[in-house]
Amino acid sequence: MDDIRALVFDVFGTVVDWRSGVARDVRRLLPGVDAEAFADAWRGRYVPSMERVRRGELPWTSLDELHRASLDELLAELGLPDVSESVRTELVLAWHRLDPWPDSVGGLTRLKARYVIASLSNGNVALLVDMAKHGRLPWDTVLSAELFGHYKPDPEVYDGAARLLGLPPERVLMVAAHTSDLAAARARGLRTAYVHRPGEHGPVTAPPPKTDPEADVSVASLPELATHLGA
């Protein structure tokens, strides 16, 4: 791993805790709704909505727009058609102000001293910029699927990140809590680091594996990754 120059990070679940953050705003804005179940159901529509873009059934649509469309569907299904426009707008912005996991900022700050660090998320640029300001994530720059007009795990996203950073893919380390993201990055020549985030889906779900045997390294936190990389 001595040649690594830049680290690119999945964000939702890897760097920030989307479930608690979304549930917090649901509790505030939709009283009486099971906030965690709502967050899970909303997030459950994330992959299918992106798949429609990835398959070409929809033109490029930002994650904010996909979140809004799936929110409208979910509210209709739950028999809540009267939720106001302003509440819907605020709920979509919940994804802009998710809190980092407790170890994220400390780990990123150490890594930034030695490496270029950037997001590489399906979130749109404005979402990621707002989130970084909210959570004080010290990115050197924000990289987003939006810049490439493709969602992960399309190869254009991983190729595009290396190209914009001016590096061959083997000098870029993709960091994620999801083995599928890492597998797609590896297929494009990036190095990979797996982060075990057992709390991503809450306390009841079967936790993710502790390690990814295919990754170059598996860790339980970003400070552990920094230590592993000598940062």
Q: Any contact of residue 165 with a second copy (CB under 8 A)?
A: yes
Q: Candidates 31-39, 102-110, 165-173, 219-227 — which segment interacts with a second copy by CB under 8 A?
A: 165-173
Going from the C-alpha of 87 to that of each of 17, 29, 37, 70, 110, the distances in angstroms are 22, 7, 18, 14, 38
Could you say which residues in the range 27-56 bind a second copy, by CB under 8 A? none
For 97-158, the DSSP string reads SPPBPTTHHHHHHHHHHHSEEEEEESS-HHHHHHHHHHHT---SEEEEGGGTT--TTSHHHH
Place of tokens 């917090």: 24
Could you say which residues in the range 102-131 bind a second copy, by CB under 8 A? 116, 118, 124-129
**Choice from 1, 51, 141, 209 touching a second copy (CB under 8 A):** 141
How many residues lie near a second copy (CB under 8 A)?
21
**Choice from 101, 139, 151, 158 touching a second copy (CB under 8 A):** 139
Q: Radius of gyration of the chain from Cα atoms?
A: 17
Instruction: For 125-141, give the secondary structure using H, E and C.
Output: HHHHHHHHHHHCCCCCE
**Choice from 58, 74, 105, 147 touching a second copy (CB under 8 A):** 147
Q: Which one-letter DSSP state was computed for residue 201?
A: T
**Choice from 34, 73, 103, 140 touching a second copy (CB under 8 A):** 140
> Under a CB-based contact definition with an 8 Å cutoff, are residues 155 and 184 in contact?
yes
**127 or 215: CB nearest a second copy:** 127
Could you say which residues in the range 167-196 bind a second copy, by CB under 8 A? 167
Binding mask 62-101 for a second copy (x = CB under 8 A): --x-------------------------------------
Residue 144's DSSP bridge partners are 121
Q: Any contact of residue 136 with a second copy (CB under 8 A)?
A: no
Q: Which one-letter DSSP state was computed for residue 169?
A: G
Measured CA to CA, the distance from residue 16 to residue 177 in angstroms comes to 11
**141 or 180: CB nearest a second copy:** 141
Which residues sit at the interface with a second copy, rule CB under 8 A? 64, 116, 118, 124-129, 132-133, 139-142, 146-147, 164-167
